[in-house]
């Protein structure tokens, strides 16, 4: 009867599966690992709360939309922890190709106008070049750092991460979109690694 | 050093606890109950996908912000299932007072400007009078219906809900903000209850 609405609702049903994609990072209290659905919610809240850390001209509503969508491809590909395989797995050509195929399938469930719009937002996020995407990436990278600090080390312990590795894999990217924020966080990570 | 940023990050850490607030509704596959963090993410995605179901003039970005914030008070109060206590617990004076105290505490963690802004968005959502809030409420009510349909009945079975109760507790409120959407969903719920 209503093909457009059926496609929209079908996409929303499929999206539910993101709640079953598990990340390496735990909740702040360390009780269990986080899933990519609740992680995406937390990031949207980060964007609302930390908008004064963004460069002038960043559109926080677009940043939120990107963050709500950014992990949907993990329904097919799973989460690839940033520190896994000594930092080599995340962003590998193989993972990128699989994520692209996932985007074809998942955004392809939507009516074409919405599918194209969401796909473009996801591509923009992945490219990390526009000011909105650079800020969104900063939040995506800083949230697990805060979770690890709260839980007593988290994935830094799991993967034997050094302070230098954290700086090169994460710090540089947080600082690119939110330099003041990274300076604030770095004080805490430096203390954590020094105390090991 | 930076009191404002410390307050912002303290709020974001506290917000993490919403991921441990359990709802009565399950994931679509019935594998476990949903938590209020991932539920809030799903609703923000509902808003993005179903914006053409909103009345003219509804601001979808504001709707998304409301939906990201709307359940934070549950960190202190817990989720009160809509069909529990034969529909009487949700929205009781006792629950409303507890949620108000939770809002004082939780939004009070933020710098005053952000705290006031978020509190006002939450109050607007709760009042369900503005067009943005009415549409946000419609999404908050329709998502568990879709989860129940997908999982084979969910909380309708748990609480012995009838088709009439679903209509009065849920359908009327979905239809208020999204009448075409409710007509589409109602066809499916009618079939489900008829087949019982």
What are the tens digits of pLDDT across the range B5-38? 999 999 999 999 999 999 999 999 999 999 999 9
Task: State whether residue B33 sits within 8 Å of chain A by CB.
Answer: no
Low-confidence ranges of chain A (pLDDT < 50): none
Q: Which of B8, B17, B68 is closest, CB to CB, to A50? A: B8
Residue with tokens 């219906």: B145
Q: How far is CA B100 from the centre of its chain?
A: 16
Least CB–CB distance from B49: residue in A12, A29, A38: A12
CB A18 within 8 A of CB A69: no
pLDDT at position B120: 98
Residue B18 CB-density burial (10 A; 0-12 exposed, 13-18 middle, 19+ buried): buried
Q: A122 at the B interface (CB within 8 A)?
A: no
Closest by Cβ to B20, choosing from A31, A64, A150: A31
For chain B, helix, strand, coil in percent to 5 are 70, 5, 25
pLDDT tens for B174-190 read: 999 999 999 999 999 99
Contact between chains at B44 and A64 (C-beta distance less than 8 A): yes
Q: CA-to-CA distance for A104 and B109, rounded, in angstroms?
A: 42
Angle at the Cα of A103 from the Cα atoms of A99 and A105, rounded to 5 degrees? 115
d(CA B124, CA B133): 6
CA distances to A61, A126, A159, A191, B96 from A43, rounded to whole Å, are 12, 16, 23, 25, 28
Residue B43: half-sphere exposure toward Cβ, Cα within 13 Å: 29
Residues 74-103 of A with CB under 8 A from B: none
Q: Give the residue among B81, B68, B67 at the shortest CA–CA distance from B25.
A: B81
DSSP-assigned letter for residue B33 = E
Residue A129 pLDDT: 98
Predicted local confidence at residue A172, as pLDDT: 97
Chain A residues with beta carbon closer than 8 angstroms to that of B35: 38
Q: Do B42 and A19 touch (CB under 8 A)?
A: yes
What is the distance between the terminal CA atoms of chain A, rounded to a whole angstrom? 62
Reference B47, options A64, A59, A73; nearest CA is A64
pLDDT at A190: 97
Strands B22-26 and A33-35: unpaired
* pLDDT, position A88: 83
Specify the pLDDT at position A86.
87
In this structure, what is the dihedral angle of CA atoms B145, B149, B152, B157, given to the nearest 10 degrees? 30
Q: Within 10 A of A187 (CB to CB), how many other CB atoms are there?
A: 12
Q: Closest approach of chain B CAs to the CA of A52, in angstroms?
A: 10
Q: Report the pLDDT value the prediction gives residue A1, as an integer from 0 to 100.
A: 54
Which residue from B5, B48, B147 is facing A68, i.e. has the nearest CB? B48
Class in CATH terms, B2-194: mainly alpha
**Residue of A33, A12, A194 lying closest to A107 (CA atoms):** A12
In chain B (196 residues long), the average pLDDT of successive 10-residue segments reads 92 98 98 98 98 98 98 96 87 93 98 98 98 98 98 96 96 98 98 95
Q: What local confidence, expressed as pLDDT, does residue B144 receive? A: 98
pLDDT value of position B1:
54
């Amino acid at each position: 009867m209503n093909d457009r609405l059926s496609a929209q609702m079908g996409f929303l049903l499929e999206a539910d599966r993101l709640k079953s994609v598990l990340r390496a990072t735990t909740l702040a209290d360390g009780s269990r690992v986080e899933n990519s659905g609740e992680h995406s919610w937390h990031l949207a809240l980060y964007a609302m709360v930390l908008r004064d850390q963004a460069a002038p001209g960043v559109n926080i509503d677009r940043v939120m939309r990107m963050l709500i969508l950014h992990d949907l491809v993990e329904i097919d590909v799973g989460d690839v922890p940033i520190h896994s395989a000594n930092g080599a797995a995340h962003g590998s050509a193989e993972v990128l190709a699989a994520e692209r195929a996932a985007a074809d399938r998942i955004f392809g469930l939507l009516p074409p106008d919405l599918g194209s719009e969401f796909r473009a937002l996801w591509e923009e996020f992945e490219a990390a070049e526009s000011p909105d995407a650079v800020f969104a990436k900063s939040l995506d990278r800083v949230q697990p750092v805060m979770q690890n600090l709260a839980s007593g080390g988290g994935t830094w312990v799991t993967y034997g991460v050094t302070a230098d590795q954290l700086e090169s894999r994460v710090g540089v990217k947080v600082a690119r979109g939110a330099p003041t924020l990274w300076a604030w966080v770095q004080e805490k990570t430096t203390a954590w690694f020094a105390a090991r």
